[in-house]
A and B are shown apart, each in its own frame.
Chain A
């Protein structure tokens, strides 16, 4: 608190800041334009990023779902989890013989065509787990039990697909088939596939004994769990059938050390779940156009922010330059005017970012279940905030340059 020359009690600048905010909020058209630009940029950047992360997460959903193993052993040419580069069954024994291995079990994972009782065909992601131990089973069983897979022809299907891709005609009783069902009839009613329903995999009978919940796959195929031996029967004959080998390290053995040992002794590749996830994600990032397409959308969001919000904020400052000039003439220092501009940019950034992220989160929460590939990591708000900061700081700096260069004598020329 200081005493001014007029004898009035004075303090630092809250009123100048208040005026700055009134100037911002009071210019309704420009304020909402700036807000709209920043909101749209935040929304596009964060929403597209969250969907990209969601999609990438789905590519490794199976690795996350299969939590019992310390190591994933694969053919050296296998680039990602769904890559069809199978191993010989004898490789399982070679892995088991490596010192430090507690157990090693084969796992089948492949796309097979299923024929439904309605006569429709659907490509399914069939997972065959170890017959003896049932290791590699689903993360969550909703109906039935994993042990039921030991029943003849038993399979378990995923909950998300039973009412969609695996849905059956409404009147079809479990075990029956319908020869005259027209799947293209829009009036045809359907019911979810359930326990006791029978379908064909490679012309072999498969009976639903359980409903499980899994992370959706990247291509959203139905997921079918069965035993390894039965999966080999369903799959076309091949000398190499094991998609990979799951390994548990002995207590006290470091998985990464064990991985090196397995690689050295078998010539296969061994990864921890995290490393295998990154190998899979790296494949999708480097070998597909997905990142580029999402990158373009995110880049467009940034450009929209620059083009609309950045330019509009700059124009907002230009419109107010004569008032800043008048205030400068009346004795306001350049620093105080810069604080006003910075505050305006900061408030616009915070509001635009908050609304944009809020809409993104509402978008993610509004779609029930896991139908939407949407995953909000903490990195996404940080990255979005960084982009909005760049937009606002850039436009604010340009505006500030105009304010710094503003000659107060200019006020007499308007």
Chain B
């Protein structure tokens, strides 16, 4: 089976059951996940919250195919990532996962459009096609006309919007966001989350957000509370999550 060809037999994009992960061996072994169980659905944003060191980053790394689990069962987009070879896993990531990093990780020597085109370039898309798609999605996140700018000429919020564009340019089915607002002030962070909510809304996409920022919880469909390597509880939001479409509330930080 092709690593990209996971079948969709229900609404669950990510299913983890008693997943464990330990770093180091012997006396220096540090358990990061002690049996984490979680489901994330297509078309929904699932937030992972909890204290530092509770295993959030380890969990999204395993879901994104960056780490292998030690134990438990896992299916992401219908694929057991543990069964994939290193090469298959690399290709699977390039085709299915979009990343938004806390520190943006935009390459300063490349233009905004080139940065956005990186996931396409990694997949071998031609330059002209990659830059055309990058320009289109930059337009979607409100940065049309800034294609030739360097990242360091943009504000923090604009840089994160470039990162959002980069994460979605190859139309991934999973979007992994690591503290997407922690490097931004409250108002900018709110707008960035609006942006993420707007552009990531897709019936065939699951969004996983790691955050400490309670102010952006209204953007979540579900909030999974982690502690000590386990999911303690999952809160389903009683209201429709916010997005940047018509009727979106005012930025409370303005």
Contacts and interface: CB of A to CB of B under 8 A. Distances in A.
A27 B109 CA distance: 7
Interface in B111-136: 114, 117-127, 129-130
A257 interface: no
Contact of B124 (A13, A322, A408): A13
Contacts of A327: 118, 122
B217 interface: no
Interface string B32-55: 000000000000000000000000
Contacts of A23: 107, 109-110
Nearest to A13: B124
B123 A331 contact: yes
A332 B61 contact: no
B119 A15 contact: no
B91 interface: yes
B126 A330 contact: no
B102 A412 contact: yes
B103 interface: yes
A329 B122 contact: no
Interface centre among B90, B127, B178 (most CB of A within 10 A): B90
Contacts of B123: 4-6, 8, 10, 331
Contacts, number: 116
Give the dominant DSSP class at A's interface.
helix
Contact of B129 (A8, A19, A326): A8
Nearest to A330: B119
A10 B126 contact: yes
B117 to A, nearest CB: 8
A22 B114 contact: yes
Given A4-B125, A329-B93, A330-B122, A25 B99 contact: no
B162 to A, nearest CB: 13
B178 A412 contact: yes
A13 B122 CA distance: 8
Interface in A1-50: 2, 4-6, 8-16, 18-19, 22-23, 25-27
Contacts of A5: 4, 95, 123
B118 A330 contact: yes
Given A26-B110, A329-B64, A411-B105, A19 B126 contact: no
B84 interface: no
A15 B95 contact: no
A414 B105 contact: yes
B127 A15 contact: yes
A41 to B, nearest CB: 25
Contacts of A332: 90, 94, 122
A26 B152 CA distance: 12
Nearest to B178: A412
B163 to A, nearest CB: 10
A322 B106 CA distance: 9
B125 A6 contact: yes
Given A10-B124, A409-B61, A322 B129 contact: no
B124 A19 contact: no
A10 B121 CA distance: 9
B210 to A, nearest CB: 8
Contacts of A293: none
Contacts of A27: 108-109
A333 interface: yes
Given A15-B121, A329-B99, A330-B99, A26 B93 contact: no
Nearest to A21: B109
A9 B120 CA distance: 11
B90 A414 contact: no
Contacts of A413: 57
Nearest to A336: B122
A181 to B, nearest CB: 68
Interface string A304-344: 00000000000000001011011111111100100000000
Given A6-B125, A329-B66, A333-B90, A414 B119 contact: no
Interface string A152-180: 00000000000000000000000000000
B170 interface: yes
Contacts of A336: 122
B60 interface: yes
A323 B107 contact: yes
B171 interface: yes
Given A331-B91, A331-B123, A409-B67, A414 B109 contact: no
A13 to B, nearest CB: 7
Contacts of A320: 107
A18 B121 CA distance: 11
A18 B111 CA distance: 12
A322 to B, nearest CB: 6
Given A27-B108, A326-B101, A407-B66, 10 more contacts: A4-B124, A5-B123, A8-B129, A9-B125, A10-B125, A18-B127, A19-B114, A22-B114, A327-B118, A329-B99
Top 7 A-B pairs, shortest CB-CB distance: A331-B94, A26-B109, A10-B124, A326-B105, A409-B66, A409-B61, A331-B93
Interface of B: 4, 57, 60-61, 64, 66-67, 87, 90-95, 97, 99, 101-103, 105, 107-110, 114, 117-127, 129-130, 170-171, 178, 210
30 contacts: A8-B120, A8-B129, A9-B125, A10-B125, A11-B124, A11-B126, A12-B124, A16-B121, A19-B110, A19-B118, A19-B121, A22-B109, A22-B114, A26-B108, A27-B108, A329-B99, A330-B93, A330-B94, A330-B97, A332-B90, A333-B87, A408-B66, A409-B57, A409-B61, A412-B60, A412-B61, A412-B178, A412-B210, A414-B102, A414-B105
